Structure 1
Amino acid sequence: MARVVVEVMPKAEILDPQGQAIVGALGRLGHPGISEVRQGKRFELEVAEDVTEAELEQIAESLLANTVIEDWKVVRL
């Protein structure tokens, strides 16, 4: 078995209201030096050794990410 991480983030041109809310909260909590936060998702998968990169890419594109507004990346640990 192998561990794989799929990181999903909003595309750069997409507004991130959750990230903006976090920036506002950080300022109110006394951390004014943070000017931008982008919030994403992290999926950890335990996969068989014979699962291919193509299969992982298909999983990421068809199930884990909304490819219209999100970018994704597969990382084998």
Structure 2
Amino acid sequence: MIKARVTVTLKNGVLDPQGKAIEHALDGLGFEGVGQVRQGKVFDIEIEGADKAKAEADLKAMCDKLLANTVIENYSVSIT
């Protein structure tokens, strides 16, 4: 079994209102010096019966087709 983590984040230049709201909330809670906050999402995925190369190819296809909106988001795949 192959375990992987896919991290999806907004591309630079794309507005992130949720990140901005988190940034303001942290300031309101007294956390000073917090810079720009950007939010994203993480997927932990297990793939059975695949070798590492096929798993990586499948994971990238998953990102391109479903997990990430590649117009406004970047993704990275890490296989453990």
Q: Is TM (by shorter chain) over 0.5?
A: yes
Matched residues in 1 for 2:13 and 2:33: separation? Answer: 23
User: Stretches of 4+ moved more than 4 A in 1?
Assistant: none
Asked if the contact 2:2/2:50 (under 8 Å) is kept, the reply is: no
1:62 to 2:65 alignment: yes
3-state SS of 1:71 partner = strand
Where do 5+ consecutive residues of structure 1 fail to align? none
Residue 62 of structure 2 aligns with an amino acid whose one-letter code is I
Deviation digits for residues 6-63 of structure 1 (CA, Å, limit 9, x no counterpart): 1000001101101100110111111121021110000010112515122111011101
AA aligned opposite 1:55: D
**Aligned pairs, number:** 77
1:72 aligns with 2:60: no
**Amino acid of the structure 2 residue aligned with 1:19:** G
Alignment correspondent of 2:41? 41
Deviation, structure 1 residue 2: 1.5
Report what 2:18 is aligned to: 18
Q: What's 2:2 paired with?
A: 2
**What is the TM-score of this pair, normalised by structure 2?**
0.89
Contact 2:6 2:78 in 1 (8 A): yes
Name the residue aligned to 1:29: 29
Give the root-mean-square deviation of aligned CA atoms: 1.1
Bigger CA drift: 47-56 or 30-39? 47-56
> What SS does structure 2 have at the residue aligned with 1:74?
strand
